[in-house]
Amino acid sequence: GKDTLDGAVEHVLQICANLDSVIVSTKNYVPELKKNVPKPMKTFDIVEKRDADPFGDHLKWIMKQIHEYMDLPPDFKLRECGTQEYEGDVMNLEQRGVRENNRRLAQCAIHLREYNDALLINDTLRMMDAFRSLEEFYSTKADKAFDGTDILLVGLFNENQVELKNLATNVVYENPKMTKLESVLLNQFTPGVQSKGILFSKTRKSTHCLHDWVTKNTALQGAGVKADILTGAGNGNTHMTQTEQSNTIRRFRKGSLNLLISTSVAEEGLDIPECNLVVRYGLLTNEIAQQQASGRARARDSQYSVVAQAGGPELRREHINDFLKELTQKAIAKVQSMSDAEFYRKRIELQTEAVIFSKTSKDRKTEKKGRFAASNIKILCRSCFKAVASGSDVKLLENSHYVNINPDFREFYRQGERVVLQKRFEDWEPGCTVICNNGNCNKDWGYEMKYKESNLLPNMAIKNFALETPDGRMTVKKWRDVPFMVEEFSFEEYCYSNMPDLFD
């Protein structure tokens, strides 16, 4: 994370101080290491920008209509559409809309993020992948308009849906990166040659899109490419269970699969000696992730390919990573050349600073937590802004679940789909999703927990709410960031308040 030698040296020393350790790395036997752990040949497979992009241009035109409708505050500037910076801008805009009780601004920002996601997908994958992403989002909005803003935004997509689909199916303007990716894969996967590769992509969604593309690509299928997806474990529709992960890796080792399409989950620790191709596709990551991904290509004469657009952000990031990698090696060498006394002195100095910082940081967090009494906080639906709970209604269960124990809270929500989790828990099981029932709002709030077999406790995801405090409205991503103390859940007190007959 440092871009000067002195800064990198300080960073390496800080790591040693945090771990209370010294650097252990090969110095005397570097030639033997290089011989036994060969490095892949790195190639930059560069493509030129599309000559024309009518699909992307039409998305930007729609975004412009939303810009004009939402009446952007004069002190707020949006950066270029189709960039990570723009995504950050509209996320901040949504938060501002919530804080200022401006639902039009907040909802427009949410829809603009979806269009920006479509532009990012269009830049990396197929046009139809971008179109389907939007179609999927708006399928959840059909017949669920809460006010005029929702009606306009959904109507704008519906009016342009046919035109967008027609543009997305025009192969003349298809993404040239996909053609280059096909070429890279075909260069390695040729009939009669045993190859194994890992294709790294940014998101779970992109791995599924790429897998669909590979399985439908006649040239790749003719070359014998047998691909599957490897993503992180979790409980969502696009997550994998640990068993599924293990089975996929086992099939890859044994050869029934020869291409893994993976997120960063496979960057570290996956050791397949026969793997002779690693492709980084549409990625903006740091030098650590780059080195970890490169290390998956273990076979001799293996290839590490970066598929990117000429002058694009991925290419710039890759060159920066190469520079930082060299800088890290120089910093490690400089630290290793220190005398034992100097190294020890510096390590103690940094450890002392870390202890002081940790204590003051903990004090600040405690102070922040106690800014307001829980009873002075109103909890609002983040979509419709209706007040639905008090901060004092929320209790912390088993140090991880923030549940609403007020029985009156049930007046504000309806049950949605049944939640299915892969893991089993001793004292509870998931119930149904909890959805705002204010008109057509339908904001997802979390899910019910069936605690000790009979007690339904709504488990609230704070990211789906806003907080009305004595100092104004605010939003937080995590419960740990709320400006009030959340008391521990007491099952005995809960039963006494809600089931007094048990104590007669």
State the pLDDT at residue 38.
64
The percentage of the chain sitting over the pLDDT mark of 90, rounded to a whole number, equals 62
Task: Give 392: exposed, middle or buried? Use CB within 10 Å, 0-12, 13-18, 19+.
Answer: middle
pLDDT, one tens digit per residue, over 3-17 is: 789 999 999 999 999
pLDDT, one tens digit per residue, over 29-41 is: 667 766 666 677 8
380 and 310, same domain (yes or no): no
382 and 296, same domain (yes or no): no
168 and 182, same domain (yes or no): no
DSSP string, 209-238: HHHHHHHH-HHHHHTT--EEEE--B-SSTT
User: What CATH number is attached to the domain comprising 431?
Assistant: 2.170.150.30
184 and 312, same domain (yes or no): yes
Confidence of residue 422 (pLDDT cuts 50, 70, 90): confident
State the pLDDT at residue 322.
84
Greater confidence, 268 or 460?
460
Greater confidence, 142 or 272?
142
Other Cβ atoms within 10 Å of 475 Cβ, number? 19
State the pLDDT at residue 300.
59
Q: What is the pTM of this model?
A: 0.86
In a domain, 11, yes or no: no
- d(Cα 273, Cα 269) in Å, to the nearest integer? 12
State the pLDDT at residue 419.
93
Q: Considering only 160-174, 233-247, 282-296, which range has the smallest mean pLDDT?
A: 282-296
272 and 166, same domain (yes or no): no
Confidence of residue 116 (pLDDT cuts 50, 70, 90): very high
Average pLDDT over residues 487-497: 90
User: What CATH number is attached to the domain comprising 306?
Assistant: 3.40.50.300
Residue 452 gets the label, from left (phi > 0), alpha (psi -120 to 50) or beta, of left
Res. 98: pLDDT tops 60: yes
Domains in the chain: how many in total? 3
In a domain, 14, yes or no: no
Residue identified by tokens 């076979």 is 299
Confidence of residue 290 (pLDDT cuts 50, 70, 90): low
In a domain, 196, yes or no: yes
State the pLDDT at residue 82.
95
207 and 86, same domain (yes or no): no
State the pLDDT at residue 356.
92
**Domain ends where: 154, 173, 192?**
173
Greater confidence, 111 or 290?
111
**Domain ends where: 142, 173, 204?**
173
Average pLDDT over residues 205-226: 95
Range of the domain at 304: 39-49+175-334
Confidence of residue 202 (pLDDT cuts 50, 70, 90): confident
Confidence of residue 329 (pLDDT cuts 50, 70, 90): confident
Average pLDDT over residues 114-131: 97
Res. 367: pLDDT tops 80: no
Q: Considering only 83-97, 231-245, 420-434, which range has the smallest mean pLDDT?
A: 231-245
In a domain, 498, yes or no: yes
Average pLDDT over residues 143-171: 96
- d(Cα 445, Cα 386) in Å, to the nearest integer? 13
State the pLDDT at residue 34.
64
Confidence of residue 484 (pLDDT cuts 50, 70, 90): very high
197 and 287, same domain (yes or no): yes
Res. 285: pLDDT tops 80: no
Residue 435, φ and ψ in degrees, nearest 5: -125, 135
Q: Considering only 96-100, 153-157, 282-286, 487-491, which range has the smallest mean pLDDT?
A: 282-286
**472-474 β-sheet, strand order:** 387-390, 378-381, 465-469, 472-474
194 and 165, same domain (yes or no): no
Beta carbons within 8 Å of 376's beta carbon, 6+ residues apart: 391, 469, 470, 484
**Domain ends where: 173, 207, 242?**
173
In a domain, 19, yes or no: no
- What's the one-letter identity of residue 138? Y
Res. 237: pLDDT tops 90: no
Res. 134: pLDDT tops 90: yes
Mean pLDDT of the chain: 89
Average pLDDT over residues 357-372: 81
Confidence of residue 173 (pLDDT cuts 50, 70, 90): very high
445 and 310, same domain (yes or no): no
Average pLDDT over residues 413-435: 91
Q: Is 31 in contact with 350 (CB distance < 8 Å)?
A: no
In a domain, 231, yes or no: yes
In a domain, 15, yes or no: no
Res. 304: pLDDT tops 80: yes
Confidence of residue 311 (pLDDT cuts 50, 70, 90): confident
In a domain, 28, yes or no: no
125 and 180, same domain (yes or no): no
490-429-450 Cα angle (round to 5): 50
State the pLDDT at residue 165.
98
253 and 169, same domain (yes or no): no
User: What CATH number is attached to the domain comprising 142?
Assistant: 1.20.1320.30
Q: Is 213 in contact with 294 (CB distance < 8 Å)?
A: no
Q: Is 296 in contact with 278 (CB distance < 8 Å)?
A: yes
285 and 405, same domain (yes or no): no
